[in-house]
Structure 1
Amino acid sequence: METQIKADEHTRRRYLEQFLAQVERRALIMAEIATSSREEALDLVQDSMLAFATKYARKPQSDWTPLFYRILQNRIRDWYRRNAVRNRWKGWLGFPDDSGDPIQSAPDPHSVLPEDEIHRDESGDAIAKAVGKLPLRQQQAFLLRIWEGLDVAATAKAMGCSQGSVKTHLSRAMASLRRQLQEYR
């Protein structure tokens, strides 16, 4: 009996690792689009994965995808709130904008070389920029429904809103993206 429990636990752990490996790359891209920062995105995804593994690993596997993305979207919303408060305090206290910090504006040694960037697909970059310009809720609806392929119910669960809100946000996102990307049609 005890060996069966250990075997079940090992199998569940293996499934959890496979699930997290499967969503990691897409979650990172979602967070990076939302934050415009690779480092912030990495932190958000890592926090989301840890929270998911500690709190929800025992839930049915069919619930894992919307639960994970709900955690990630909550982390992104929290990041936006923290930045808004931080920026407000900086403004009130008269601190300069971070964009003038020479350390922050130094080139990243791990960044893509300009020669490699030239060969990138322009339309892919334009889509990523256009999605990054969308309001957060529209961004979430687009990425979860279109890019991640979740159905309306799972997207609503992940976003913490009604199915009607998901449809509205997605419709607005699609209309905005069509306008922004008209030249690539």
Structure 2
Amino acid sequence: MPSSFHPSGEHFKLASHDELSRFLAETERRAYKQALFAIRNEHVALDIVQDSMLKLAEKYGNKPANELPLLFQRILQNTIRDHCRRQKVRSRWVSLMSSLIPEHEEAEYEPLDSLQDEDNNSQGLAPDASFEQSQLIALIEEALIILPARQREAFLLRYWEDMDTTETAAIMGCSEGSVKTHCSRATHSLAAILRKKGVHLP
């Protein structure tokens, strides 16, 4: 059985292939319940658990067996957080596009300022709704390529990186008013592009 020498002077037995497989088999059901409780979507929860198990096997399969539980929990929680962050961003993009209404024509109007936080609502999407949202996000990403560079930069910093107006202005080297103008023009342009593609937002 292979062993590892710890800086403290102790030897630790590395997990064998059978031990790793047994650990994953024993952990899978509990991990699935954790992910399901956090995500509230059976298919996504299963994907998260499988992804976490794969990461453990690929990156830490040669670690001592007694370290596997803690390592796996860290990977699982990080994977759940990453998913929630992506869902937050995607939900915000969809809400942002849906918030564009004709009466908001002033140059510095920024839809994000009027949006309610929908983080919790986005996690429990039904599979069909989640698929439709993914399709819309793909169209938005395609449309972003067409935007002028400054508009695209402002939009991505605000709505993808989740930075506030002050942080975005500092990075772009412009005023906060300019950031709002760029974002407003970007969102209106994106809405127009989506309409041309046959996407009619509520």
TM-score, length-scaled by structure 2: 0.43
Q: Pick the structure with greater CA Rg.
A: 2
